């Protein structure tokens, strides 16, 4: 159970808007998470192909990505790999987190972002609910599906906006 997730969920604040260099944010989150994943014999790969700026809340987006990585790690077996990558166009960007676990059951995929829904013993079921909260606060969305090969593929989609467009 994460007390930071519980605190964030119950005291959610509107975004503190700022320009974010997404590759730097992802590198910071992945550096922190690599230590945790290595202790479980998991590898975390960050695949960046371009520099992208985003207008949003550094802390909230970092928490959301960290929660996606945690979720992917919990679904993975020792020796597995979690992959973080991004895609963008002129309107939006997508942060992808993919694991090599068993995937997600169809009916669970519809409910995993709801508060307190969990399939894990000892979990509050707030990690992905917070990801959804963060996405919606930024005008975005979360998608979760099974990968073509194996595992789950989670996507945090956020609009590309400028400071004048932040609400």
pLDDT digits (tens, 9 = 90+) for 2-59: 555 555 555 668 899 999 999 999 999 999 999 999 999 999 999 998 889 999 999 9
List pLDDT tens digits, range 54-77: 999 999 999 999 999 999 999 899
Question: CA angle, corner 8, sides to 2 and 63, nearest 5?
Answer: 75
DSSP helix/strand/coil, 3: helix
CATH code, 3-165:
3.30.565.10
- This prediction has a pTM of 0.84
């Amino acid at each position: 159970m994460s007390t930071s997730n519980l605190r964030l969920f119950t005291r959610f604040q509107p975004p503190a808007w700022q320009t974010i260099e997404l590759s730097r944010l992802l590198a910071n989150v992945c550096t922190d998470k690599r230590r945790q994943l290595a202790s479980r014999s998991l590898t975390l790969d960050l695949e960046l192909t371009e520099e992208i700026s985003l207008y949003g809340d550094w802390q909230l987006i970092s928490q959301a990505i960290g929660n996606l990585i945690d979720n992917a790690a919990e679904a993975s077996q020792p020796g597995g790999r979690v992959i973080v990558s991004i895609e963008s166009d002129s309107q939006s960007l997508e942060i992808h987190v993919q694991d090599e676990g068993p995937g997600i059951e169809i009916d669970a995929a519809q409910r995993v972002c709801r508060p307190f829904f969990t399939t894990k013993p000892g979990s509050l079921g707030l990690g992905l609910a917070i990801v959804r909260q963060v996405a919606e606060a930024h005008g975005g969305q979360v998608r979760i599906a099974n990968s073509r090969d194996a595992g789950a593929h989670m996507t945090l989609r956020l609009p590309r906006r400028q400071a004048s467009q932040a609400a």
